Structure 1
Amino acid sequence: MSGDWRTDIVDAVRNSIVAAAPGVVEEAKWRKASNPDGVPTFSLDGLICTVETYKDKVKVTFAKGASLEDPSNIFNASLDAGTRRAIDIHHGHLLDTAAFEDLVRSAVEINRG
């Protein structure tokens, strides 16, 4: 995926997660033949989010997103899910970095209970 717009988005998302949650652990999970690199997962005192790459988008799914305040309304997917919430980032879409990092910090706080 080198030179792919999705790689740039994943890198930006990763950088924001690391900036908002020092000490976060990134692991690749759910490896399979169609996705040998697996799905990047980010955890700190519990799962924060996953980052999945699709043909038309990058999806960032917050494990406990339904419990997070989203005053900037950046969640735009899985809005009816009972626990999760997601952000679909399409080509040319700019992620609100400050709002995203606030969500990451809130997710860590919920994990810490």
Structure 2
Amino acid sequence: MTAVDAAARIDALIADHPDWRGSVLAAARTVIVEVDPGVVEAWKYMGSPCWDLDGPLIVGDIFKAKVKLGFVYGASLDDPTGLFNGELGGKQRRSYELYEGDTLDEAGLAALVRAAIARNRAA
């Protein structure tokens, strides 16, 4: 699947969720792709929006009660603002999960994306 196709699938996923979940994923997507012009959107893992740069960065998912931004190598990242609130017991992944009424921490998310990119480049 091309990046254009992936972007169209992500657009459709957001459009299919016109409530707070679509808005949160759209806002997170904007933050993620603005961190570095090399970030590539993909559609993987049986139907999830993904963002990659020098390897996988984030897998996004919309659930009934939350939007989940799963950092593939989150366990190896510093999280100075404490955004990670999911998958905390794992040895590899960490997630930033948002629920209705939560405010997206754009600066904190951008910092995590930069850290994930640096981790990928160092690996």
TM, length-normalised to structure 2: 0.83
User: Partners of 1:56 and 1:17 in 2: how far apart?
Assistant: 22
The Cα of 1:79 is off from its aligned counterpart by: 0.6
Q: 2:115 aligns with which of 79, 92, 106?
A: 106
Determine whether 1:14 maps to 2:23: no
Letter of the 1:75 partner, please give it.
F
1:34 alignment counterpart: none
Q: Root-mean-square deviation (CA), in Å?
A: 0.9
- The gaps in structure 2 that reach 5 residues or longer are 1-15
> Percent identity of the aligned residues?
41
How many residues are treated as equivalent by the alignment?
107
Determine whether 1:66 maps to 2:103: no
User: Partners of 1:2 and 1:43 in 2: how far apart?
Assistant: 23
2:19 alignment counterpart: 4
Q: 2:54 aligns with which of 28, 39, 45?
A: 45
The Cα of 1:2 is off from its aligned counterpart by: 4.4
The structure in which a higher percent of residues are helix is 2
Determine whether 1:86 maps to 2:101: no
TM, length-normalised to structure 1: 0.91
Structure 1 consecutive aligned stretches of length 4 or more whose deviation exceeds 4 Å: none
The Cα of 1:3 is off from its aligned counterpart by: 2.0
